[in-house]
A and B are shown apart, each in its own frame.
Chain A
């Protein structure tokens, strides 16, 4: 029996070593001499969302012998900060951050500052006032102007419903900067049209399933709805799913999304979705890396850069 136990123990250790050996093999393949190589840590909230996949892939595509990009993702505030600590321990030359929360990331930025690692804020904006108060410094910002995007969506919807009717908004995660800006830009345009009424505005947390449920409720309360602005494509696709479930003609309600994800563009082509606002995540990811290279070369950069938006209809 004792033999059996030790056998199992040995087997176990072998399996663990084998698994890790696989990672060794992988990382030796990718191994490079450290000198003169610029290493970038790129932190995004999730790689389940095609938006961030596009962003990080375009950054990764710029990799060469002199440039390495490490991608990590987490939607948990604490884990995001820990990933940054790990990037610092790993000795990266710059960190690009898409924060999940515009406040809680600040202590981690301070740690990067202390290690003299420049931090580039991408997409979701870090709260600059808080950062300043706590002594955190950002090298630069790159992203699109979400407020402007919300405005484009508002103008498209106003035009499509002949400047009158009832509209609804599906918001992103409460308190999230992009969520606030997109909604703000949309409302800003709606104010200019006295005959358009916003009958509902609810958070569906960027989530398709949740948007479907929330929109179900909105439709029940407002059967005569004319248009809906979903602050991202996932939620817009949730809206369409809800309409299909209830067998409501897809052309009876104007649906506009945001992000121009592949699935949404296909839905626009099929005529299911009326329009989507295109941020350009690929451009953002690539620009972020180029900015890092400028910063590492000590070239001066502006405080903020914006990537353009367009309406896909």
Chain B
């Protein structure tokens, strides 16, 4: 019951925002603009999906932005070398997953706190990207990738579709499989989960690999939409993703959170950004409002939990 109220609350917040922006400037409500919001937020959205399951197990992944940038550079480099698109895409997601694996192994086998490990990798991977790109952006020119991602199915861009499909996939994994139950169990009480025979390390490492994988996929959309890769791309993605996940009702203590909540959380942030931008409100206000909404949404959440 309480969960339902929370979901409802989030949707109300989103709808209220959409209606208000729509009243102020009807241009906001144009279907093309609303779809724009979905497309523009698909990259950070996909990163946030990975962040959701990481936060559910009580972890954190600060390295997401750096992984996105690094994978983007790898992809752009491969494409400039005329490697077939499919192969380049596969290598890109493998690289992303590999970074996730390093995160997971160091955290679970090395028993180093997730905050420290991913903070370290955030810096190291960023440096690695700057090094191998010589701190220059890599242009892929007019690309196949760009035209594929801009292809629209029933008005919805391919980028947005990827985000939607991944959301549904992860939602299914979390809600309908044993794997999902284990993830929540680990986040809720790791010791109890271990006591009940759940292979905590294995499942936790898989979670970090998925987060890395999501970053790899996000980097594909990023490179596709810019026709180039930048070593300094993806900065502050970790904070935006954490914000979306937290607005979506997850708890940084673990054991709580949902893909649906994150999906709506991403849209709330996206609507604020797009709406204020269309209203020509300077970006300073956007930061203030986003900060406000993060705190308020956690406040509601806390209130429900402490009954």
Contacts and interface: CB of A to CB of B under 8 A. Distances in A.
Interface in B90-120: none
A23 B282 contact: no
Interface in A40-88: 47, 70-74, 76-78, 81-83, 85-86
A103 B227 contact: yes
Interface stretch (A12-20, A162-170, A269-277): A12-20
A194 interface: no
B43 A104 contact: no
B12 to A, nearest CB: 7
Range for the number of chain A residues in contact with chain B:
35 or more
Contacts of A15: 296
A27 B21 CA distance: 11
Nearest to A135: B142
A16 B285 CA distance: 13
A78 B32 contact: no
A86 B226 contact: no
B135 A203 contact: yes
Contacts of A74: 283
Given A13-B16, A17-B16, A103-B228, A86 B137 contact: no
A91 B304 CA distance: 43
Contacts of A76: 233, 235
Given A13-B16, A174-B135, A107 B141 contact: no
A104 B33 contact: no
Nearest to B278: A90
A86 B225 contact: no
A101 B137 contact: yes
B36 A89 contact: yes
Nearest to A21: B20
Contacts of B277: 72, 83, 86
A9 B307 CA distance: 14
A128 interface: no
Contact of A16 (B13, B40, B299): B13
Contacts of B276: 23
Most buried by A among B20, B28, B235, B307: B20
Contact of A104 (B226, B296, B299): B226
Contacts of B281: 23, 26
B30 A24 contact: no
B25 to A, nearest CB: 7
Given A77-B226, A101-B228, A27 B16 contact: no
Interface string B27-67: 11010110010001001000000000000000000000000
Range for the number of chain B residues in contact with chain A:
35 or more
Contact of B27 (A13, A77, A89): A89
A175 B142 contact: no
A90 B27 contact: yes
Nearest to B230: A77
B24 A27 contact: yes
B228 A9 contact: no
B292 interface: yes
B193 interface: no
A134 interface: yes
B268 to A, nearest CB: 11
B300 interface: yes
Interface in B131-147: 134-137, 139, 141-142, 146
Contacts of B20: 17, 20, 24
Given A83-B277, A104-B139, 4 more contacts: A16-B13, A27-B24, A27-B25, A130-B141
A33 B283 CA distance: 25
Contacts of B173: none
Contacts of A91: 27
Instruction: Give the interface SS of chain B, mostly helix, strand, loop or mixed.
Output: helix
B289 interface: yes
Nearest to B272: A20
Contact of A12 (B24, B146, B296): B296
Contacts of A249: none
22 contacts: A9-B9, A16-B16, A16-B296, A17-B20, A20-B17, A23-B24, A27-B279, A72-B280, A72-B283, A77-B137, A77-B230, A81-B226, A85-B40, A86-B33, A86-B278, A89-B27, A101-B137, A104-B227, A107-B225, A130-B141, A133-B142, A175-B137
A233 to B, nearest CB: 22
B226 A19 contact: no
Given A104-B227, A133-B141, A85 B36 contact: yes
Nearest to A47: B282
A16 B281 CA distance: 16
Nearest to A25: B24
Interface in A97-154: 101, 103-104, 106-107, 127, 130, 133-135
Nearest to B285: A23
Contacts of A24: 20, 23-24
A297 interface: no
Contacts of A27: 24-25, 279-280
A78 B222 contact: yes
B283 A73 contact: yes
Contact of B30 (A17, A78, A82, A89): A89
Contacts of A85: 36, 40
B82 interface: no
A16 to B, nearest CB: 6
Nearest to B30: A89
Given A77-B230, A107-B146, A89 B278 contact: yes
A17 B123 CA distance: 40
A82 B40 contact: yes
